[in-house]
């Protein structure tokens, strides 16, 4: 995850120096709705990534560097529950935590982390048991590896990492695409997926891709995700909402469904629409302005609710860079309402058993806040002023954060006496003197319902000077290529201490992308020199750079920070073809030739050609790439501007008609044919129904998409209410022109479900109407006196008898019984007509 927003254009980046005179960071609290207050529970949690709240109120917080911290009764315990050895480059590290559903009696803690060594470098899920003698630490002998995921590439980003138990008692695991978008669709890797395993690490027998996968890939439950950093399970309904961090356009909230394909990289947000098999998000917001990454996921379903009734069942989420928190309301979860703003680098959200909302943030050194509802109450101090040490002549700033009913008024005090004009949320002494040393600074915050006075902070004025830090190498403006290793070194002096030793040095490398940052090399102390390696995979934008940061600290605790920026070498790559407007792919994302992009030299990209594809009515197959690569293959962004040409050859199959029903495609109820009184065909998203243990309507369309043609769409979850009754329902396609002299094939997906009172007179069928206007049955599936559940099937039908004609198709389902004595439900999806 990134740690700040910068909005600096690359051309303005130069050597920087930041004098850090205060021994404590400036803190900021969030802005909340009227009646809500917040309190900082813990601070100093370096690089936090996720959290889980236990039934007893303890809070478990993961730190990227490998420690799982415990907060008990509002106190951050000094001893971690466990510390894992992990790799922390980029977004790797200890990333996720979940507690066993029966944690009170089965104190298992589940963790997602990156292995420390390679090859291969992998992400793993492990389980620890709390010690019987001290439940705040793990039993050292209890470590159990549950699953080891697919090997990681050299890319440091897109690891996902969230863990949560479903209502079914299974452990769900969110994984990123490892910065290779092709991974998201592949069933041969765990990257870019939502996984599902048993609590002991075994694979559930009802996982949806069990028959199509082997080994660890049998854990795949849903696919098509880019970087699902957070997700949550509604403890009341079992509904799963998955946040997926977008690339350039949209941040997504997706409804987790078994077998679902969320579309990445073919789709992002709702764009493009109508892609076959894609389950589109329930909510999106634009990755624009300061928005950069969706984070935090929690349903408000506490054991004891303390928020207003309107918050019941709401889904809380936020944005890492902008720092907002919003809610989505049931049942559709499709419209957002603002809740909070001003959170410094939000990473996670959770709900406590007492109804409090907690949010975890990386800003200000890592903080955890508790949000409560208390209407018409006096202010509460969210963050106390902190003691400050400065050198004489330097400014000193004190800040308070308070929440409560607005308006809030501030009055700062020095040694208990009001300071004239000091009536804002911060107070600054512009130039400190020796006379200021030891001053006690506090503040009183007032609203219409009362007041609260903060703790006192001490101002210490030091006579010594500020140290000076220098980065010797590399110099600012040095250019890099992907995969390049840079050695760094520096020095530091102090007016009183002289040359500072390596123990006074702390280095860090941040990766800047557009107007936000990602961690690259974590804070590393105790060295005056070292090295780091530029990633050769991962972020593909050319609007990037690396910042090497050095902070030095003298014996009195005063610090000085300096940095240098390392900028990318770039070249222009053009993808083109021998046919106009050829459909190609770049990193799995569809593009139209010719397509040019500016890339960072040395970064690995993936190019591909769609095959078959149709241009001006002619079907083309892939022939070759100009570099000799396969249809889809990797390239390393070259040092010179380069063109890659895909040669496509005519021949093969032509698509005459295709409809996935993700948008209205011109189908109508066949005029004068419907006789059924209920259960008429409708386009929409099915809801699961069952009767006598028989699934009559699935919980999603074919392939997990959100729209198809369904009978009993209005039934909700009530089987037998809106099923087909008393006759036939018929849906007619738009006109389809068939060429002469070609083999014509119809393919589609359908289900026919019924209970054991059905007869052979009940059916699902397809009829074609040619130029003579006579309907001809081309496919029939009849019912029988047995229970048959809803299973999507994929037949194909030869329509060559209609070659040279313009036809329409009729999809029909029938309940022959006039007394409603049986239950018949049906659906169809993914209709295609092709010519060889």
- Here the CATH number for the domain that contains residue 420 is 2.60.40.10
Element (H, E) at 68: strand 67-72
- Answer for the pair 782, 762: CB distance below 8 angstroms, yes or no: yes
Q: How far apart are CA 232 and CA 255, in angstroms?
A: 10
- Grouped pLDDT means (10 residues each) for the chain, 836 residues: 32 29 44 91 95 97 97 96 95 97 97 90 97 96 97 92 97 96 94 98 94 93 97 97 94 96 95 90 93 96 94 97 96 96 95 97 94 87 91 93 89 97 96 96 94 96 92 96 96 96 96 87 94 92 96 93 97 96 92 96 94 83 92 94 94 79 85 88 85 82 86 66 84 91 92 90 95 94 91 94 94 80 87 88
Residues spanned by the domain of 265: 44-291
Asked if residue 728 is part of any domain, the answer here is: yes
Q: How far apart are CA 561 and CA 552, in angstroms?
A: 7
- CA dist 540 to 316, 553, 598, 605, 666, Å? 30, 36, 9, 8, 40
Pair (578, 543) in one structural domain = no
Pair (125, 208) in one structural domain = yes
The reported pLDDT for the residue numbered 34 is 87
Based on the structure, what is the number of domains in the chain? 5
Per the confidence metrics, is the pTM higher than 0.85? no
The reported pLDDT for the residue numbered 818 is 61
- Answer for the pair 99, 54: CB distance below 8 angstroms, yes or no: yes
- Helix ranges (DSSP H) in 585-717: none
The reported pLDDT for the residue numbered 385 is 95
Asked if residue 338 is part of any domain, the answer here is: no
Asked if residue 538 is part of any domain, the answer here is: yes
Pair (564, 576) in one structural domain = no
Pair (279, 190) in one structural domain = yes
Pair (591, 631) in one structural domain = yes
Pair (449, 501) in one structural domain = no
- CA dist 654 to 239, 447, 650, 742, 810, Å? 41, 72, 11, 10, 22
- CA dist 774 to 14, 767, 831, Å? 77, 9, 21
> Could you tell me the two tokens for 107?
């104190």
Pair (710, 759) in one structural domain = yes
User: CATH code at 577?
Assistant: 2.60.40
User: CATH code at 691?
Assistant: 2.60.120.200
Q: How far apart are CA 445 and CA 452, in angstroms?
A: 5
Last residue of a domain, one of 633, 652, 671: 652
Asked if residue 1 is part of any domain, the answer here is: no
Asked if residue 662 is part of any domain, the answer here is: yes
Pair (621, 526) in one structural domain = no
Last residue of a domain, one of 462, 479, 502: 462
DSSP helix, strand, coil percent of the chain (3-state; round to 5): 5, 45, 50
Asked if residue 25 is part of any domain, the answer here is: no
Pair (124, 253) in one structural domain = yes
- Answer for the pair 476, 456: CB distance below 8 angstroms, yes or no: no
Asked if residue 28 is part of any domain, the answer here is: no
Pair (718, 628) in one structural domain = no
> Could you tell me the two tokens for 127?
């389980």
Pair (421, 559) in one structural domain = no
The reported pLDDT for the residue numbered 126 is 98
Pair (699, 633) in one structural domain = no
Asked if residue 24 is part of any domain, the answer here is: no
Last residue of a domain, one of 403, 438, 462: 462
> Could you tell me the two tokens for 531?
């090295």
Chain-centre distance of CA 80, in angstroms?
A: 27
């Amino acid at each position: 995850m990134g740690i700040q927003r910068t909005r600096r254009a690359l051309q303005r980046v130069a050597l920087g120096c930041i004098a850090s005179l205060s021994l404590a960071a400036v803190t900021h609290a969030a802005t909340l709705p009227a009646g809500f207050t917040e309190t900082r529970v813990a601070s100093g949690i370096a690089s936090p990534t996720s959290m889980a709240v236990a039934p007893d109120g303890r809070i478990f917080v993961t730190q990227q560097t490998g420690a799982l911290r415990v907060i008990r009764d509002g106190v951050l315990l000094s001893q971690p529950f466990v510390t894992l050895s992990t790799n922390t480059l980029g977004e790797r590290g200890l990333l996720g935590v979940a507690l066993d559903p029966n944690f009170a009696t089965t104190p298992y803690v589940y963790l997602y982390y990156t292995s420390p060594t390679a090859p291969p470098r992998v992400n793993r899920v492990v389980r620890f048991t709390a010690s019987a003698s001290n439940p705040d630490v793990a039993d050292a002998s209890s470590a159990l590896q549950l699953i080891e995921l697919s090997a990681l590439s050299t890319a440091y980003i897109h690891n996902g990492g969230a863990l949560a138990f479903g209502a079914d008692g299974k452990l769900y695991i969110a994984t990123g695409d490892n910065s290779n978008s092709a991974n998201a669709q592949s069933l041969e890797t765990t990257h870019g997926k939502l996984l599902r395993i048993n609590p002991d690490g075994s694979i559930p027998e009802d996982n949806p891709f069990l028959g199509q996968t082997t080994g660890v890939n049998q854990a795949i439950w849903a696919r098509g995700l880019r970087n699902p950093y957070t997700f949550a399970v509604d403890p009341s309904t079992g509904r799963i909402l998955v946040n997926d961090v977008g690339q350039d356009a949209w941040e997504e909230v997706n409804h987790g469904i078994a077998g679902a394909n969320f579309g990445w990289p073919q789709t992002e947000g709702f764009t493009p629409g109508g892609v076959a098999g894609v389950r589109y998000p329930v909510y999106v917001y634009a990755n624009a302005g300061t928005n950069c990454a969706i984070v935090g996921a929690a349903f408000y379903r506490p054991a004891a609710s303390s928020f207003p009734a309107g918050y019941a069942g709401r889904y809380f989420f936020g944005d890492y860079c902008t720092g907002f928190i919003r809610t989505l309301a049931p049942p559709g979860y499709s419209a957002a309402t603002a809740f909070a703003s001003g959170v410094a680098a939000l990473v996670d959200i959770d709900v406590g058993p007492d109804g409090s909302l907690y949010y975890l943030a990386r800003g200000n050194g890592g903080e955890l806040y508790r949000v409560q509802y208390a209407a018409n109450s006096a202010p509460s101090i969210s963050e106390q002023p902190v003691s400050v040490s400065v050198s004489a002549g330097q400014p000193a700033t004190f800040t308070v954060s308070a929440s409560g009913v607005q308006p809030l008024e501030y009055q700062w005090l020095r040694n208990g006496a009001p300071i004239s004009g000091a009536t804002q949320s911060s107070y600054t002494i512009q130039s400190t003197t020796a006379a200021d040393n030891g001053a006690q600074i506090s503040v009183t915050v007032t609203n219409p319902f009362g007041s609260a006075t903060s703790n006192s902070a001490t101002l210490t004025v030091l006579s010594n000077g500020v140290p000076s830090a220098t980065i010797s190498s590399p110099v600012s403006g040095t250019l890099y290529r992907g995969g390049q290793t840079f050695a760094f070194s520096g020095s530091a002096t102090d007016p009183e201490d002289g040359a500072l030793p390596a123990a006074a040095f702390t280095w860090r490398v941040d990766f800047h992308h557009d107007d936000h940052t990602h961690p690259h090399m974590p804070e590393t102390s105790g060295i005056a020199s070292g090295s780091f390696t530029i990633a050769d995979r991962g972020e593909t934008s050319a609007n990037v750079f690396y910042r090497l940061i050095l902070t030095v600290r003298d014996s009195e605790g005063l610090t000085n920070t300096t940095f240098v920026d390392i900028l990318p070498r770039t070249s222009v790559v053009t993808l083109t073809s021998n046919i106009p407007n050829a459909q190609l792919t770049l990193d799995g994302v569809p593009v139209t030739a010719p397509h040019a992009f500016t890339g960072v030299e040395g970064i690995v990209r993936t190019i591909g050609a769609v095959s078959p594809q149709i241009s001006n009515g002619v079907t083309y197959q892939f022939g070759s790439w100009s570099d000799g690569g396969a249809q889809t293959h990797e390239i390393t962004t070259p040092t010179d501007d380069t063109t890659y040409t895909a040669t496509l050859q005519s021949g093969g199959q032509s698509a005459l008609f295709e409809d996935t029903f993700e948008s209205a495609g011109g189908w109508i109820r066949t005029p004068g044919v419907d006789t059924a009184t209920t259960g008429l065909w409708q386009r929409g998203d099915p809801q699961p129904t069952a009767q006598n243990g028989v699934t009559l309507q699935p919980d999603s369309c074919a392939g997990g998409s959100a729209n198809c043609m369904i009978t009993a769409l209005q039934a909700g979850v009530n089987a037998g209410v809106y099923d087909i009754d008393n006759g036939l329902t018929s849906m007619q396609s738009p006109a389809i022109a068939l060429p002469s002299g070609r083999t014509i094939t119809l393919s589609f997906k359908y289900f026919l479900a019924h209970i054991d009172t059905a007869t052979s007179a009940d059916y699902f069928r397809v009829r074609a109407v040619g130029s003579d206007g006579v309907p001809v049955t081309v496919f029939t599936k009849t019912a029988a006196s047995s229970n048959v559940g809803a299973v999507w099937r994929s037949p194909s039908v030869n329509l060559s008898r209609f070659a040279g004609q313009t036809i329409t198709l009729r999809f029909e389902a029938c309940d022959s019984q006039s007394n409603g004595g049986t239950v018949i439900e049906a659906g169809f999806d993914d209709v295609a007509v092709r010519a060889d």
